[in-house]
Amino acid sequence: MEIYVHIPFCVRKCAYCSFVSFPSSRRTMEAYVAALLKEAKGRACEIPEPVETLFIGGGTPSLLPSESFCALIAGLKEIFHFEKLREFTVEANPGTLTEPFLEALCASGVTRVSLGMQSAQEDLLRRLGRIHTFAEVQASVSLLRSFGITNCNLDLMFGIPFQTLPDWQDTLSAALSLSPKHISAYGLIPEEGTPLFAYLSSGEWQLPPPEKEREMYDLALETLSAHGFEQYEISNFALPGFACLHNIGYWDQIPYLGLGLSAASMRIIKHSAEGMECLRRTNPSNMKDYLEMVNTGDLSRAELETVSPAEARFETLMLALRMTRGVSEERFLVLHGVSLDACFGEKLRSLESRGLLIHEKGAWRLSRRGMDIQNSILVELM
């Protein structure tokens, strides 16, 4: 079982961000932590088994007062079983890490920190609305190491308006100079309702053409591989032994509990002759509604969605195809009680004949060409 905790507070919202996040006061942060623990206590029955991964994301969790962070983790440890915890990740933004907060991380048992570097170019960082410079990324990594935290991920972004291939090469080189254990390299996706989307819609900004974005992705594959990083998912690369267990859990459909504003949860509610049925729950994205849900215990304020066996089978295929190891025929059969071939065999073989999928060692996975058009492949499989 996995737990995700959403911390919605930011110094300033980035131009591309569609997540629930906003500036806040210390008093609001303290009240929010109290609400998180109240929600956790009310939902403890959903995960009676030990927790294997814990991920504190946002927003900017590193904005929490150190006392509030310690209180949050101490409270979660009283409510849930953490004796088998394998990975504990906290997201942070460069420029917000402080010694008191790092002391709180160490005291709470954090094993991994994910930093939002995004780019090495200050002009691109400003366009994205980021609050830091690359010098602050360097300082944050150095501070983490001084506290003994060496398992660090760097988030990088390509396909940014005005970004060139040399810019992206410089960003990759700058990130590698910091010796991270893990790098996430994401293509920028403009989300409706964000300032970035408005700039693009007005014609004031333009994304790099698709062929340039593919060149950037190819450059990431080549550069990171040359430095010992193994690609284990479309956008994620790790040194051996440092893949993110929490994210792999999502792609493997491991049940997870999401706590906090807009947090999502998924649990398996039934195994039958028809297959696996799941329940997906999404918390309110409005603070007032969230606090009322927590204080009244009124679950109707959360959005509930039943995932049918047919939908669960497609989700297994969709999520597993993000992984470079692909979808295991054996695991699919165990999860759903029906073979992958019976559900999708004809379509899978058609895609294989066109060089988009590879079938070997009891698994189906995307070819290199297939990775470039993954969304089209999933539409066809649907």
pLDDT digits (tens, 9 = 90+) for 154-188: 999 999 999 999 999 999 999 999 999 999 999 99
Q: Could you tell me if 339 and 213 lie in one domain?
A: no
Q: Could you tell me if 317 and 244 lie in one domain?
A: no
Q: What is the CATH number of the domain that holds 371?
A: 1.10.10
* pLDDT of residue 300 exceeding 80: no
Q: Could you tell me if 234 and 323 lie in one domain?
A: no
**Which tokens is 159 given?**
């396909």
Q: Is the pTM of this model over 0.85?
A: yes
Q: 90 pairs with which residues across the strands?
A: 56, 113
Q: Could you tell me if 58 and 203 lie in one domain?
A: yes
As a three-state string, the secondary structure of 206-266 is: CCCCHHHHHHHHHHHHHHHHHCCCEEEECCEEECCCCCCHHHHHHHCCCCEEEECCCCEEE
130 SS3 class: coil
Give which of 5, 17, 144, 120 is closest to 64, Cα–Cα: 5
Give the pLDDT band (50/70/90) at residue 19.
Answer: confident
Q: What is the CATH number of the domain that holds 43?
A: 3.80.30.20
Give the pLDDT band (50/70/90) at residue 372.
Answer: confident
Domain boundary among 200, 220, 249: 249
Task: Answer whether residue 274 is part of any domain.
Answer: no
Instruction: Give the number of domains in the chain.
Output: 2
Mean pLDDT of 4-18: 91
Note the pLDDT tens digit of each residue in 248-265: 999 999 999 999 999 999
Average pLDDT, the chain: 94
Task: Answer whether residue 275 is part of any domain.
Answer: no
Q: Could you tell me if 189 and 335 lie in one domain?
A: no
Give which of 203, 148, 137, 128 is closest to 174, Cα–Cα: 137
* pLDDT confidence of residue 113: 98
Q: Which residues form the domain of 102? A: 2-249
What is the helix (H) or strand (E) element at residue 63, kind and residue range? none
